[in-house]
Amino acid sequence: MKLLFLLLVLLVALATSAQAIGWKLVNAKIRSEFPDVPRISTHELAAWLNDRTRPAPVLLDVRERAEFEVSHLRNALHVAPNAEAAVIALPKEQPIVTYCSVGYRSGGFAQKLRDAGYKNVLNLEGSIFQWANEGRPVFRAEVKVEKVHPYDRTWGLLLKKKLRATIQ
């Protein structure tokens, strides 16, 4: 019985560690691919959105339409991952935060924006998966919901199981 318990503890630790290791590898890859794109943590973004003394950033959701329609950050605008920076008709000084599932697609779009002369662009580290994993709210239109599109079965492993929407 003691051996069984130790084995169970080890399996839980491995599963927890695997997700932590997965995030470390994903974030390292994004940093190496987009070294000139500054990042903002989910904690920092949440504080900024709650701070009434400074203008809120424009939130750009850089996922496919089907992902966005399952849920997104409140007041986010949808932008297709392959869109050109020219589709964004905002002042070049406008604070902008990009996000996607884990931060890779949004990192690429943030780089396009920076290359186009946008000066205040940040990529949300961990993106909507990390945001939701921390218990922060996601919305479908103006309605708070619980589920997030997992992108696919593999990437969805970085999202807590109870938060994964069923995909067809």
- Residue 21: give the domain boundaries: 2-163
Classify residue 107: in a domain, yes or no: yes
Q: Inform me whether the pLDDT recorded for 90 exceeds 80.
A: yes
Could you give the C-alpha distances from 60 to 6, 81, 106, 137, 138, in angstroms and in order? Answer: 45, 10, 8, 16, 14
**CATH number, domain containing residue 55:** 3.40.250.10
Q: How many domains does the chain have?
A: 1
Q: Inform me whether the pLDDT recorded for 123 exceeds 50.
A: yes
Residue 8 amino acid letter: L
Residue 45 amino acid letter: L
Could you give the C-alpha distances from 141 to 40, 58, 125, 137, 146, in angstroms and in order? Answer: 24, 16, 23, 12, 13
Classify residue 18: in a domain, yes or no: yes
- Pairing assessment for the beta strands 39-40 and 138-140 based on DSSP bridges: unpaired
- 143 φ, ψ to 5°? -100, 125
Classify residue 168: in a domain, yes or no: no
Residue 130 amino acid letter: Q
Mean pLDDT, residues 128-140 taken together? 98
Classify residue 27: in a domain, yes or no: yes
| Helical packing angle, 104-115 and 2-33, nearest 10° | 20
Classify residue 31: in a domain, yes or no: yes
Classify residue 153: in a domain, yes or no: yes
pLDDT-based confidence at residue 63 (cuts at 50, 70, 90):
very high
Is the pTM above the cut of 0.75?
yes
Classify residue 144: in a domain, yes or no: yes
pLDDT at 128: 98
Q: Inform me whether the pLDDT recorded for 32 exceeds 60.
A: yes
Taking the C-alpha atoms of residue 60 and residue 23, their distance in angstroms, rounded to an integer, is: 22
Taking the C-alpha atoms of residue 113 and residue 92, their distance in angstroms, rounded to an integer, is: 9
Classify residue 115: in a domain, yes or no: yes
